[in-house]
Amino acid sequence: MNDLHIQFVAEARELIQQANDDLVAAEREGVSEERIDRLFRAFHTLKGSAGVVSLPAMESALHAAEDVLAALQQGKMGATVRVIDQLLVCLDKVEGWVDDFSLREALPGDSGVAAREIAHGLRALLEGGSGLASVYPIKPPTGSVFPDWAARLNESHGAVASAARSSDRVAFSYEPRTECFFDGDDPLALARQAPGLLALTIEMTRKPENLENFDPYSCSLRLRGVCAATRAELVAIFRLVPDQVNIIDLPDASAPVTSASGVTGDDHSLALAVVEEQAQLLRGIAAEQGFAGRVGSAVRCAAGAVRFSGREEFVEAIQRAGARALADATATPLLAALNEAAVMLASPDASEKKDQARSHQSGAGMRGRSLRIDEGRIDALIDLAGELLVATHGFAHLAGQAEGSNLDTRALARSIRERKDGLERLTTQIHGAVLQLRMMPVAQVFRSFPRAVRDLAQQLGKDVRLVVQGETTEADKTIVDMLFEPLMHLIRNATDHGIETPAERIAAGKPASATITMRALQAGDRLVVEVRDDGRGIDPALIRRQVREKALLPEADLAALSDDQVVSLIFAAGFSTAARVSAVSGRGVGMDAVRASIEQVGGRVSLKSGVGTGTQVSLDFPMNIALLRIMVVESGGQILGIPMDAVRETVRLKPDQITRIKRNEGFVFHEKVVPICSLAELLELPSSEAAVGDRLVVVTEVGGRTTALEVDAINERLEVVLKPMHRLLSSARTYAGTTLLGDGAVLLVLDLREIVP
């Protein structure tokens, strides 16, 4: 991409995120003058930028969104859920187009159709319509099934089409806007420019009652044709009006074309026709028009068709959407599910292509990773670099003095030490400044969740408000980048089976609206992120019962656990408190995945819960993972490093404090029995002679397990830059990495997760 395109993509993504935030806030808090002005500027800037890089489909969709925002600004409509939904649908589509443009510098071939559907849905709001069919369009299929108009046109002009003997044939339907003449458009001249035009029909979409009411300046034409050309050639002709044109690929002249009303073909084609028909029956129906019966019938027919096609993954989604449609008395969720199923049935390999595109995009993102850095931090680093240059000049001066004989040895040593102290100060400051370049606020991740909570709550029929605190807290970019996945797991768990339904909350004496609080704070040199809800909490008795049913622990061990320890069992792999598996959570992989991803970067996770009062999950990370604090210990004749994050205390034990339990040794540490393990034995190092007298242990906590590691000696504590194991040593899972000591010796730093039993 050229510089203009790169700038467009970067700015568009920022504007989309800002508009998302403001739309979610507007739905919850109302449309203030400042907020609506900001929204209007975001959409207007996006539209203008799309025009600069020649993306007319994006322009037309955003123009319709501007019309709706103008109506909001003038007080002609309110920021209802339906209005916000459609504006968010527009933003989601624009965001996808920006991603497509960043990969291929072009929009998908169906962008014009999608833009037209979005624009119709938005303008239906201005006209007082529901806009359901526009927000959730059932797209025309590809393959052997075609819209009725394409099949009829191809059949009626089959002789002409066959005479062309072309393997590349497309049909188009061009419906100009009513005011197209005032835009300088000539629909007939534009249609005649279609390459290889084989057939053309022109009809009126609105017939006047009499000539007196006929407005010659208002276009009411629909032009349809068949061309012996490629889709790309036709797209180029209609590039300025993509939202007004629908292009259909046709097979070669010898292949039959079947309309959607009389389907023949493979399983996908037949299933697609059934799904589309159910969606057509649902559009625009109201609750008093046999709504429940129609929804139930549509769900059964569509689910059966999808199951027949072999796409089992959509069956459950359609059934869930049907239940939600009945609960909310609106066909919107079911239409959305049918649309998704239709898209996949129309292009059976669409999901595979989507995954490939996402993989390609991810790879491209890794190759082009970038940081936005405050100008003041760069200036500070430049100043330090200048001081470092002066310090190196000082060493050159000392070298000149050492070569002569004018300076005695003691004075030379004193001068070297002074220069060394200055250089050490500068090195520390430069290193700290460089680390600051990687620090970024957690707001970048937190901004994604108000929209996520809104959508999840609507899907589950709950009223949930997200409160975000401490979003300006900074942490290492690696930490911030990995926060999204564990936080999304926690948000889903809290919203799905942590928060009660409004009726359940009212019955329990709580407000119908629930609150989830996401907070970030700095505690010393650690970043703490908390997710707290005021839901039903976790019942230890329920956990104990499920542990017994699944035989996860022996009965004696389970009885010995406190309620807090029992609640912590939800971090076990495969464990879930959900009564049922849903699209959101309940498969037992969420909390285990949270702990695993956090521990990968040296973090910890803890949980507090009260029955009826809610749950709080705390994520604790090192503020900066480029630096690691370690404790240097001696064991089995080796010097090793232990990460300080895992160290709770160091204890010197007297012989009478140690108790043998079966074949193991342990001691009481803060009213809890802690096992003692020899670090030398765990690493298969030569064991020291049997200890006589006091014994030295390092109490560690890894993955919720407390263990005392017996060592021979404890040396200094250091802050080091950890280097990962490379090449032949990359498979040595016992070690987290290496660092250099002051004397140049290599120190191996242990990965306690791999060695603690």
CATH number at residue 668: 2.40.50.180
Query: Are the CB atoms for 245 and 173 separated by under 8 Å?
Result: yes
Give me the torsion for CA of 584, 586, 592, 595, rounded to 10°.
40
Query: Are the CB atoms for 145 and 265 separated by under 8 Å?
Result: yes
Determine what percent of the chain is predicted with pLDDT higher than 70.
Answer: 79
Task: Kindly give, in sequence order, each residue whose CB lies less than 8 Å from that of residue 444, ignoring residues fewer than 6 positions away.
Answer: 480
Q: Is position 236 within any domain?
A: yes
CA distance 580 to 542: 15
Q: Are 381 and 318 found together in one domain?
A: no
Beta bridge partners of 250: 169
Q: Is position 544 within any domain?
A: yes
**Rounded mean pLDDT of 207-224?**
81
For residue 310 the two structure tokens come to 């072999």
CATH number at residue 529: 3.30.565.10
pLDDT higher than 60, residue 130: no
Local confidence band at 532 (pLDDT 50, 70, 90 cut-offs): very high
Residue-wise pLDDT for 652-671, tens only, equals 988 888 888 777 888 988 88
Q: Is position 714 within any domain?
A: yes
Largest CA distance in the chain: 115
- CA distances 658 to 385, 526, 633, 663, Å, are 55, 34, 21, 13
Q: Are 420 and 549 found together in one domain?
A: no
CA distance 412 to 418: 10
For residue 625, the model assigns a pLDDT of 66
For residue 633, the model assigns a pLDDT of 92
- Report strand pairing: 526-533 vs 514-523: antiparallel
Q: Which of 415, 437, 459 is the last residue of a domain?
A: 437
Which residue in this structure is represented by tokens 């390459």?
A: 195
Which helix or strand (DSSP H or E) is residue 533 part of? strand 526-533
Q: Are 239 and 273 found together in one domain?
A: no
Q: Are 154 and 29 found together in one domain?
A: no
Q: Are 350 and 395 found together in one domain?
A: no
For residue 520, the model assigns a pLDDT of 93
Q: Are 662 and 727 found together in one domain?
A: yes
Residue-wise pLDDT for 470-526, tens only, equals 988 988 888 888 888 888 888 888 988 889 999 999 999 999 999 999 999 988 778
Q: Is 470 in a helix, a strand, or coil?
A: coil
For residue 61 the two structure tokens come to 């969709």
Query: Are the CB atoms for 319 and 307 separated by under 8 Å?
Result: no
Residue-wise pLDDT for 590-614, tens only, equals 577 777 778 777 778 888 888 889 9
Our count of domains for the chain comes to 5
Q: State the amino acid at position 460 in one-letter form.
A: L
CA distance 741 to 725: 17
Which residue in this structure is represented by tokens 């800037």?
A: 45
For residue 285, the model assigns a pLDDT of 57
Q: State the amino acid at position 445 in one-letter form.
A: V
For residue 515, the model assigns a pLDDT of 93
* Average pLDDT value for the chain: 77
- CA distances 498 to 44, 448, 449, 531, 539, Å, are 40, 20, 17, 12, 11
pLDDT higher than 50, residue 355: no
Residue-wise pLDDT for 300-354, tens only, equals 888 877 777 766 667 777 877 777 777 667 777 787 778 777 766 765 544 444 4
pLDDT higher than 60, residue 578: no
Residue-wise pLDDT for 262-282, tens only, equals 433 445 667 777 777 777 777
Q: Are 125 and 166 found together in one domain?
A: no
Query: Are the CB atoms for 180 and 188 separated by under 8 Å?
Result: no
Q: Are 253 and 319 found together in one domain?
A: no
Q: Are 491 and 603 found together in one domain?
A: yes
Q: Are 23 and 130 found together in one domain?
A: yes
Q: Is position 306 within any domain?
A: no
For residue 241, the model assigns a pLDDT of 79
First to last CA, the chain: 52
Local confidence band at 290 (pLDDT 50, 70, 90 cut-offs): low
pLDDT higher than 90, residue 169: no
Q: Is 202 in a helix, a strand, or coil?
A: strand
**Rounded mean pLDDT of 538-559?**
83
Q: Is position 474 within any domain?
A: yes
CA distance 541 to 556: 16
Where b means 16+ CB within 10 Å and e means fewer, 165-190 reads ebebbbbbbbbbbeebeeeebebeeb
Task: Kindly give, in sequence order, each residue whose CB lies less than 8 Å from that of residue 376, ignoring residues fewer than 6 positions away.
Answer: none
User: Nearest Cα to 108, choosing from 118, 119, 123, 93?
Assistant: 93
Local confidence band at 529 (pLDDT 50, 70, 90 cut-offs): very high
For residue 351, the model assigns a pLDDT of 43
For residue 57, the model assigns a pLDDT of 84
CATH number at residue 294: 1.20.120.160
The DSSP annotation for 128-144 comes to T---HHHHS--PPP-SS
Q: Are 596 and 448 found together in one domain?
A: yes
For residue 544, the model assigns a pLDDT of 86
> pTM for the full model?
0.56
For residue 697, the model assigns a pLDDT of 92
Q: Which of 594, 622, 650 is the last residue of a domain?
A: 622
**Rounded mean pLDDT of 143-167?**
57
What range defines the domain where residue 583 resides? 441-622
Kindly list the strands in the beta sheet with 705-711, ordered across the sheet, starting from the edge strand earlier in the chain.
Answer: 647-653, 695-702, 705-711, 672-678, 664-669, 659-661
Which residue in this structure is represented by tokens 């006929």?
A: 214
Q: State the amino acid at position 694 in one-letter form.
A: D
For residue 260, the model assigns a pLDDT of 45
Q: State the amino acid at position 491 in one-letter form.
A: I
200 or 592, greater pLDDT: 200
Q: Are 77 and 168 found together in one domain?
A: no
Residue-wise pLDDT for 414-426, tens only, equals 777 777 777 777 7
Q: Which of 574, 592, 622 is the last residue of a domain?
A: 622
For residue 217, the model assigns a pLDDT of 84
